[in-house]
Structures are given as structure tokens and as C-alpha cells.
Amino acid sequence: MALAMKVISQVEAQRKILEEAVSTALELASGKSDGAEVAVSKTTGISVSTRYGEVENVEFNSDGALGITVYHQNRKGSASSTDLSPQAIARTVQAALDIARYTSPDP
């Protein structure tokens, strides 16, 4: 039971981090675009390989990503990052805005 509670606690902590990342991205895009969509993911896992019936290798992994699409004056720009730090999110939002600025408008 203690292990289950620890896992639930870790999941809730990750959820909060992801929600903050989405909020940060939307806030940064809100004043500079007509609209924005944000997708965020976090994957954590373990891989165990065996050889001749013995454990040979144990690998832990943890991956995260944030993608943002902004809309500005009928133009669309998208960017993504695997770094979920506030600075990286700001750079990603700016990249999406820059891309939108230089794309052709949709009719």
C-alpha cells in the first residue's frame, strides 16, 4: 500500500508540473497571438533485459515534451521542445510565433 501511495504522489507531482508548463505556454502566447493550442506529455518507464535467464540490464527512462501551435492573422506556427523548463517554454512559444509571422496566411 505504501508503494501505491508513493506512486500516486509522484503522478500528482508530475501532473502539477505539466499543468504549469501548459499554463506558462498559454500565458506567453496569449498577448501575442489570436489563439494557441498546447499539448504536453510525460512518459516514465523501466526496461529489463535478460540473457540466459539472468537479468542483464535494467534501464529507467523519463521523457517529456511540449508542443505549441499559435494562430496569428490567419497564420499558423508550431514548435516543440523536450525541455519543460520555463526558459525553454518561452523559447518554444517565441519560435512558434516567429514561424507564424513568416508563413503564408490561410485563405
Q: Which residue has the higher pLDDT, 99 or 60?
A: 99
The stretches of the chain forming alpha helices (DSSP H) are 2-30, 86-102
Closest among 25, 59, 22, 66 to 44, alpha carbons compared = 59
Look at residue 44 in the predicted model and tell me its pLDDT. 84
pLDDT(74) > 90: yes
pLDDT in tens, 38-54: 999 998 888 999 999 99
Contact 44, 11 (CB under 8 A): no
Cα 4 to Cα 2: distance, rounded to the nearest angstrom: 5
Residue 21 pLDDT class (50, 70, 90 cuts): very high
Closest among 69, 74, 56 to 97, alpha carbons compared = 69
pLDDT(75) > 80: yes
Q: How many Cβ atoms from other residues are within 10 Å of residue 67's Cβ?
A: 16
Cell numbers for 106, please give them.
Answer: 490561410
Please name the CATH architecture into which domain 2-102 falls: 2-Layer Sandwich (3.30)
Residue 33 pLDDT class (50, 70, 90 cuts): very high
pLDDT(100) > 80: yes
Q: Mean pLDDT over all residues of the chain?
A: 92
